[in-house]
Amino acid sequence: MDREWNDSQPIYRQLRDRVVAMILDGVLKEGDALPSVRNVAAEYRVNPLTVLKGYQQLVDEGLVESKRGLGMFVNVGAPKLLLKVERQKFLGEEWPRVRATIERLGLTATELLNGGAHSNEEPSLGDAPAKPVESDPAKKER
C-alpha cells in the first residue's frame, strides 16, 4: 500500500480503497487475511481506530468478514462483487468527467488507444491541425 495520504477524502476511506485495489489486483485473494489493524496503524502511523473504521466499511459492504481472535478475511466472491460495483461506480461517477474532458480536448479514439502517441492518420474533425516544426535554427532567428 502507498504511504501517502491525500486531503481529498478521509484516511479511513483511502485505506478502504487501497484494500479494494489490492483485491481487484489479485494481491489479496478470497480467504486471505487482511494485514492486522495494529500492523497497518503502526506502519502508516495512523490511529488504529482509523484502520478499524476502514476495515469496518469493507465488512459492511460484505467484502470482508471478521473472525473473532483471528482477524479479517476476504470473503468468497468479493473480487467478483467488487468488479461489478467498481465498474458501475466508474461508469456512473468518473466516466462522465473523463468523457467530457476527452470531448473538450478533441481527442480521437486512435489517440486514446495509442496512449497519446501521434498517429500517421489524417486528422479527423476532432483533431487540431499540427503546427509545422522548423528544423533549421537559422530560420528561427529571422
- pLDDT of 6: 87
Lowest mean pLDDT among 20-24, 72-76, 107-111: 107-111
pLDDT in tens, 35-45: 999 999 999 99
pLDDT in tens, 128-139: 444 444 444 444
Q: Would you state the CATH architecture of domain 11-76?
A: Orthogonal Bundle (1.10)
Query: Does 20 score more than 70 pLDDT?
Result: yes
Q: What pTM did the predictor assign? A: 0.68
Mean pLDDT, residues 48-53 taken together: 96
- CA 90 to CA 49: how far, in whole Å? 29
Residue with cell 501517502: 4
- CA 1 to CA 35: how far, in whole Å? 11
Q: pLDDT confidence of 7, banded at 50, 70, 90?
A: confident
- CA 73 to CA 76: how far, in whole Å? 9
Q: Where are the chain's structural domains?
A: 11-76
- pLDDT of 120: 52
- Provide CB contacts within 8 A for 107, sequence distance 6+: 126
- pLDDT of 133: 41
Query: At residue 44, what is the residue type?
Result: Y
- Output the nine-digit C-alpha cell for 86: 467498481
